[in-house]
A and B are shown apart, each in its own frame.
Chain A
Amino acid sequence: MARDWRDLFIIQDGPSSAVQDSASPAAEERRGGRLRRLRESLRKTRQALQSEIQATLFEDLSDETWERLEEALIYADVGARTTARVVSQLEQEASENKLTGGQELSERLVGLLTEIAQSDNDKIDLRPEPTVILVAGVNGTGKTTTIGKLAWHLSRELGQSVVLAAGDTFRAAAVEQLEQWAERAGVAFVKGSPNADPASVAYEGISAAIRDHADVVIIDTAGRLHTQDDLMAELAKVRRVIAKQIPDAPHETILTVDATTGQNGLRQAQLFSQAIEVTSLCLTKLDGTAKGGIALAIAHELGIPVKLIGVGEQLEDLRPFDAAEFARALVS
């Protein structure tokens, strides 16, 4: 069963009116459409791997099986190290006669991948008032789009009042882009002057949220490569300023990772974590043919869970992450 938005967020007052509303037929239908879209996009994701895995699994468990399994995981960008772990684990279980045929191997593989992708901490806690969400990532990974969609869901489906803070003061027209999203989602919007210090924009966003008793404030930041030390230091400063204003904040720090990213994604997660203590990933652009296996490597090696996935350009195409579904989509 796919996770729904209600499973992702921890909200204080129990189900709000907006949530109850989603049980209405119209909302059901909307959700049905969303699931269909997800199935559709994950189907594309699946195709390439499917042929590899099935061909593998219908044969007996030979040396060739392991090699082809390895290739299939590598092909999904899972990375050499995590792949080696998964394959050697399965190989060992097979040698202990725990796995006897292709079908069993297939099931165990999905189970193992789910275990790696799964985290106990897979929710976003919206109880702090206001909840501060900081979003960062490499250029072009989809930060602003993700924020726009997240604001829309929080506001329209969960009845939360949201403030967006345009902390990307560097890229041309980034502020305008976020402003358009804020209009679509019908949420409040705070911006600074061009080339303003992003930390000051974050500060003002939070101040506005406190003043207006908003539930959630989401802070956008400029895309930056994890190798740019000065820009990473700037990002760390944004975080420090936020923490000074509200001691526990940011309550959620989301790193957007493009599903097409290869092994460099690990470095991204590592260095962004050093700077701003990333608490979760949003895996974007899963609607292409890329499998986003790098998220498994990041979960395996760094223990940072995925909480959100992006599967398209429409507002509804941001979804809560479901580990089992993701694992199945990778290999079934």
Chain B
Amino acid sequence: MFDSLADKLQATLADVRGRGTLTEDDINAAMREIRLALLEADVNFKVVKSFTGAVKERALGADIIGQLNPGQQVVKIVSDELTALMGGAARELSFSPRPPTVVLMAGLQGSGKTTATAKLARYLREQHSSSVAVAACDVYRPAAVDQLVKVGAQAGAAVYEQGTDRNPVDIARWALDRAKQEGKDVLIVDTSGRLHVDRELMAELAEIRQAIKPTDVLLVVDAMTGQDAVNVAEQFGAVVDFDGVVMTKLDGDARGGAALSVKAITGKPIMFASTGEKLDQFERFHPDRMSQRILGMGDVMTLIEKAQGSYDEQQAAELERKLRKSEFGLDDFLDQMRQIRRLGPLQSLLGMIPGLGKELRGVKLDEREFDRLQAIILSMTPAERRHPELIKGSRRLRIARGSGTNVQAVKQLIKQFDQMRKVMRQVSQGRMPDLGAMMRQGGR
């Protein structure tokens, strides 16, 4: 269902490769694919129109001889233009020189405001060591205050609430006073969800804004929103003039074209991405990564960052030394596995690797397989781990019993390990095997 646009463009323009030049027809065919892909990604159709116009112009004028192949060329143009449209680098909240910094959260019902409020509180506490308070101004939805009390506490924020009998404007004002008294760095004000066409509630939101004069107003937008995202953003913009957007539910498989539309139409940056139900699944939004997602090209940057975050340089140097001297044993293999697992669930890691998305779509990885491998290795003696070639008949049986697996599993592990060691030796000696070709063969 989700063939990536990058793949489609490559296929559409594959036969052009030999000719070396793009005709108007080629480009029109490519534009049709781009248009369809962007619409499938829920990019607003007006934005799609101006976007394909811009891409076409650049593609027609581009000198493609002697460069990348035409397909890649167009993919690159699309990627560049998408990134330009998304607004380049990530943007942070502004902090008030006189605390508390006040952040007002607004959005439609069900977009995820309360969760985003708690996540932002946790984020600011962790990243900026701020002391954070959250104010519960959603007095309409049943139990919304209870929800914020619970998640706010989990986030380590002070929760300011006055039940549901008071006017939200008064609660917001009271919360601001209290945040000042208690010397909080940041106050995040949660509001109830409201429709952008609901005059009464929108007026109330404007009143809250007026009363507390927030440093930043954040609009919370569901990443799965369709064409309507633009209406919502325009209307909220007109009433509360928000400064940035929090995209929620980005952990689903929505392409998130709404992000592109909102940015393109309102010019307001997407600041944060919410990517899961846990409070720490919240990060700065990276526009360039979003354009890769819309193109279906994976998210290499996030993967690299994750890897860097959990990788120890000394360990890496040690590993390289072992590889060169062929001392890489099963213990080291186990270490590697554990490091990879620290990065997160395998399934989500694979999704970030460009090109792999398609080949491995639908492949379910059994995380327990790791536990089995680990059990097998831990059932070996240190000598066996360093020199797996020692493992023959009776040792194999002992290991299988010790790990609760069977002889075949032990055999297979050792075989795989041997192969891996060969490949790694090649890599460490500077002979890079063609991984791309290996993967393509595996996938077809």
Contact = CB atoms under 8 A, between A and B. Distances in A.
B45 A74 contact: yes
A177 B141 contact: yes
Interface string B217-259: 0000010111111011000000000000000010111110110
B111 interface: yes
Contact of A176 (B146, B195, B225): B146
B41 interface: yes
Interface in B99-143: 108-112, 140-143
A140 B112 contact: yes
Nearest to B364: A229
A227 interface: yes
A174 interface: yes
Chain B contact surface mostly: loop
Nearest to B145: A173
Most buried by A among B109, B141, B249, B255: B109
A289 interface: yes
A326 to B, nearest CB: 16
B178 interface: no
Interface stretch (A18-26, A90-98, A100-108, A254-262): A254-262
Given A227-B251, A227-B252, A258-B222, A289 B147 contact: no
A140 B111 contact: yes
B143 A260 contact: no
Contacts of A229: 347, 364
Interface string A42-82: 00100010000000000000000000000100111101100
From B142, B144, B196, B253, residue with most partner A Cβ within 10 Å: B142
Contacts of B150: 172-173
A229 B365 CA distance: 11
A93 B345 CA distance: 52
B296 to A, nearest CB: 14
B222 A260 contact: yes
Contacts of A148: 142
B331 interface: no
B11 interface: no
A192 B42 CA distance: 39
Interface in B329-371: 347, 364
29 contacts: A48-B231, A74-B45, A74-B227, A77-B42, A77-B227, A139-B112, A139-B277, A140-B111, A141-B110, A172-B146, A173-B149, A179-B143, A225-B249, A227-B251, A229-B347, A258-B110, A260-B222, A260-B226, A260-B232, A262-B42, A262-B224, A262-B225, A262-B257, A264-B224, A264-B252, A264-B253, A264-B254, A267-B254, A293-B226
A287 B364 CA distance: 40
Given A76-B227, A290-B226, A180 B142 contact: yes
Given A173-B144, A173-B150, A227-B253, 8 more contacts: A74-B39, A75-B45, A75-B227, A228-B251, A264-B42, A264-B255, A288-B231, A289-B232
Nearest to A177: B143
Q: Which of A80, A267, A290 neighbours the largest number of chain B CB atoms within 10 Å of its CB? A: A290
B36 interface: yes
B320 interface: no
Contacts of A264: 42, 224, 252-255
Interface string B19-44: 00000000000000000100111100
A198 interface: no
Contacts of B42: 77, 262-264
B151 interface: yes
B78 to A, nearest CB: 18
Contact of B40 (A179, A226, A263): A263
A51 B172 CA distance: 40
A249 B231 CA distance: 41
B211 interface: no
A225 B276 CA distance: 9
A285 B110 contact: yes
A205 interface: no
Nearest to B107: A140
Nearest to B231: A289
Contacts of A285: 108-110, 195
B40 A80 contact: yes
A265 interface: yes
B224 A261 contact: yes
B304 interface: no
A230 to B, nearest CB: 10
Contact of A140 (B110, B140, B258): B110
Contacts of B110: 139-142, 258, 285
B195 A172 contact: no
Nearest to B351: A227
A142 B195 CA distance: 14
A171 B231 contact: no
B1 interface: yes
Contacts of B258: 262
A173 B364 CA distance: 33
A142 B141 CA distance: 11
B224 A265 contact: yes
B423 interface: no
A289 B1 CA distance: 28
B144, B227, B258 — which one has the most chain A CB atoms within 10 A of its CB?
B227
Contacts of A48: 231
Interface string A108-127: 00000000000000000000
A226 B251 CA distance: 10
A67 B417 CA distance: 58
Contacts of A260: 108, 222, 225-226, 228-229, 232
A181 interface: yes
Contacts of A177: 141-144, 147
B197 interface: yes
Nearest to A142: B110
B142 A140 contact: no
Given A141-B110, A177-B142, A287-B195, A171 B147 contact: yes
A229 B364 CA distance: 10
A214 B322 CA distance: 70
A294 interface: yes
Nearest to A75: B227
